[in-house]
Amino acid sequence: MNQITLNAAVRTEQGSKAAGRLRRAGKIPGVIKRMSGESTLIELDTHAYEMTMRGHHGDQILVCIDLDGTKVSALLRELQHDVISGQVIHADFGEVDMGHAVRVEIAINLVGIPDGVKNANGVLEQELRAIHVDCLPTDIVESFDIDVSALKVGDKLLASQLNLGDKYHVTTHKDTVVAAVVAADEEIEVAAPAPAAEPEVIGAKKDAAAPAAAADAKK
């Protein structure tokens, strides 16, 4: 995987108001968590960031941050998005040592049409979208392609059944379901609306609740 280079600058201002000013000026506030335990506050150009990251869909991507001339190898740990527009509002990087294994979350991409979907009208459910693995930073990929074409209705693919190669050590629990083929939902016919029964009131005495409802009905 080619390493992505991002240009960044050290920022001195911190806090939500300063971060808001940065965003209005077309910058993304971010942070690099250093291996020494310290944090470096940075700012990235929004347009340059979007152009660089276009086409990269991994949850955690290895990047080289050019921080005012100093190169830092870091892992994109977390991105915060605006809840409505979806724009990036904060980027969280973690510095990595290229010789040591790191724990990362890598997306799972299901490949193929399961037998149960093709022949038995089942529905493929992807229960796990990303898997936790320990690997060297250079071995980080954007996603794992998992073939599910052999799954029949009722079959499940567990995390322990994934064959990711020797480079990756899966740390997700082995019994976690990655994908399953289930029978399609039966449509529940809507009967005539039943009289609106009231739910049980927690802590109310049964004989006291009935007169209250009756008194309301009289009003």
Partner 1 sequence: MPLMPKRVKHRKVSKGSRKGFATSGEKLAYGEFGIKALGRGWVTNTQIEACRVAINRHMKRKGKLWVRIFPDKPVTKKPIEVRMGSGKGNPEFWVAVVLPGKVLFEVGGIPESLARACLRLADTKLGIRTQLVSR
Residue type at position 190:
V
Q: Which residue has the tokens 């990929």?
A: 141
117 part of the interface to partner 1, by CB under 8 A: yes
187 part of the interface to partner 1, by CB under 8 A: yes
**Burial grade of 90 (CB within 10 A; 0-12, 13-18, 19 or more):** middle
184 part of the interface to partner 1, by CB under 8 A: yes
214 part of the interface to partner 1, by CB under 8 A: no
69 part of the interface to partner 1, by CB under 8 A: no
186 part of the interface to partner 1, by CB under 8 A: yes
β-pairing, 177-183 vs 122-126, is antiparallel
Backbone φ and ψ of 81, nearest 5° = -115, 150
123 part of the interface to partner 1, by CB under 8 A: yes
Alpha-carbon gap, residue 198 to 9, rounded angstroms: 60
211 part of the interface to partner 1, by CB under 8 A: no
212 part of the interface to partner 1, by CB under 8 A: yes
Sheet holding 143-147, edge to edge: 143-147, 102-111, 130-135, 169-170
Stretch that binds partner 1, among 40-48, 139-147, 168-176, 182-190 (CB under 8 A): 182-190
Stretch that binds partner 1, among 10-18, 42-50, 131-139, 187-195 (CB under 8 A): 187-195
Residue closer to partner 1 by CB (options 51, 190) is 190
Residues in region 73-92 near partner 1 by CB under 8 A:
83-84
Q: Smallest distance, Å, CB 84 to partner 1? A: 6
Residues touching partner 1, count (CB under 8 A): 30
Buried b (16+ CB within 10 A) or exposed e, 64-75: ebebeeeebbbb
Candidate residues 196, 205, 208, 211; the one interacting with partner 1 per rule CB under 8 A: 196
Contacts of 160 (CB under 8 A, 6+ apart): 170, 174, 175
Q: Smallest distance, Å, CB 159 to partner 1? A: 18
208 part of the interface to partner 1, by CB under 8 A: no
Nearest CA to 39 among 28, 50, 30? Answer: 30
DSSP per-residue string spanning 127-153? --SEEEEEE-GGG--SEEEEE-TT--T
207 part of the interface to partner 1, by CB under 8 A: no
Binding residues for partner 1, rule: CB under 8 A, are 83-84, 117, 121, 123-126, 129, 182, 184-187, 190, 193-194, 196-203, 212-213, 216-217, 219
